Amino acid sequence: MKALILSGGKGTRLRPLTFTLAKQLIPVANRPILGYVLDQVASAGIKEAGVIIAPETGQYVKDYVRDGSEWGMAVEYILQEPLGLAHAVKQARPFLGRSNFIMCLGDNLQGKGVTDLIKRFEKEKLDCLILLKEVPDPQRFGIAVLDAKGEVIKLIEKPKEPPTNLAVVGTYVFSPKVHLAVDRIKPSWRNELEITDAIQEMVNMGFKVKAEVLDSWWLDTGKKDDILTANQIILDQYLKGEVLGTIEESEIKGSVRVVPGARVTKSKIQGPCIIGKGAVVENSFVGPYTSIGEGSQVINSGIENCILLEFSMVKDVAHLEDSLLGKHSLISKNGKGRSVRAHIGDYSEVEV
């Protein structure tokens, strides 16, 4: 079993951040989303991974994943223009060979992991096993229709009138037979080779295609609010409160991680939140679900439910909430104190 991790795409819904950063590297709880995906793949015992990268952001992904040794995997990088998920499978064919493989989207997080999914695929000797999740807005996703035995009979990409509310989650397990299906499909109206079309073709060809409905959380972190929600879930479920930095005349409540080298002075911190290496919080309130990146500063301000990437600064802002700040960015006060929400890219400066 090999893994194919998709870390390409242009991330248009997360601009301006994704002008200078791959969307899969946006951090939640001060760690790139891609890192959590690789954790799940490695936990399933997979030792070889192909990582799909885009020409514009591929080097950023390489700089983070490197040779894959942090996860105990050998990594091969595969360049792809954004022409669809099935096209990514086609581009990865030299790496995949005749192996079974699990394909994961590098910007999707789900709470169950992939180990049990792979075990079921192998035990039942399937050709394709997809993960589904009930959603309130199925028009936004690829949707599956199942028969009474749980086998897939139809897949529809973003239907106007969805026949079910079972969205296709960005986790798939395939046998090599998927390559036969990919070779038979045509580009969609988006001029992309859709993975839903390839799976539908596997059904049409009589291959054994089944689905499993996810009974845990799933997040497609394609927009700012999705990133903030992922940050909340990861802080809630995985953060271990630990104060290793310097605390001076401050109050710490709840699950708070202050890493070595961080400094908190004359401030109140209400967890869950994380304060990264070299970060400074001074005369401020840091509320729940906030991740403050390495070297960032919060001075004379109040923030909550925010993600601050490395070396950003919030200064003299009464209340910043629900915000995503790029690296080396600055938000400062130049007017009346009021609640502020922001989504700004790297090296930006905003006065409020």
**Angle made by CA atoms 70, 109, 27, in degrees to the nearest 5:** 60
User: Which residues are bridge partners to 128 per DSSP?
Assistant: 174, 209
Structure tokens at 5: 């991790």
HSE, CB side, 13 Å, CA atoms: give it for residue 339.
5
C-alpha dihedral sign at 330, 334, 340, 345: negative
DSSP three-state, residue 344: strand
- What is the Cα–Cα distance from 44 to 47, expressed in whole angstroms? 9
Maximum average pLDDT range among 68-82, 219-233, 328-342? 68-82
Most confident of 5-9, 123-127, 137-141: 123-127
Place of tokens 């509310």: 165
Nearest to 234 by CA among 310, 308, 170, 289: 289
CATH number corresponding to 2-234: 3.90.550.10
Which superfamily does CATH assign the domain made up of 242-351 to? Hexapeptide repeat proteins (2.160.10.10)
pLDDT (tens digit, 9 = 90+) per residue, 239-257?
888 999 999 999 999 999 9
**Helix, strand, coil tally for the chain in percent (to 5):** 25, 35, 40
Model confidence at 11: pLDDT above 60: no
Give domain limits for the chain.
2-234, 242-351
Indicate whether 347 pLDDT > 80.
no
pLDDT (tens digit, 9 = 90+) per residue, 35-93?
999 999 999 999 999 999 988 888 889 999 999 999 999 999 999 888 889 999 999 99
Residue 13 in contact with residue 277, Cβ under 8 Å?
Answer: no
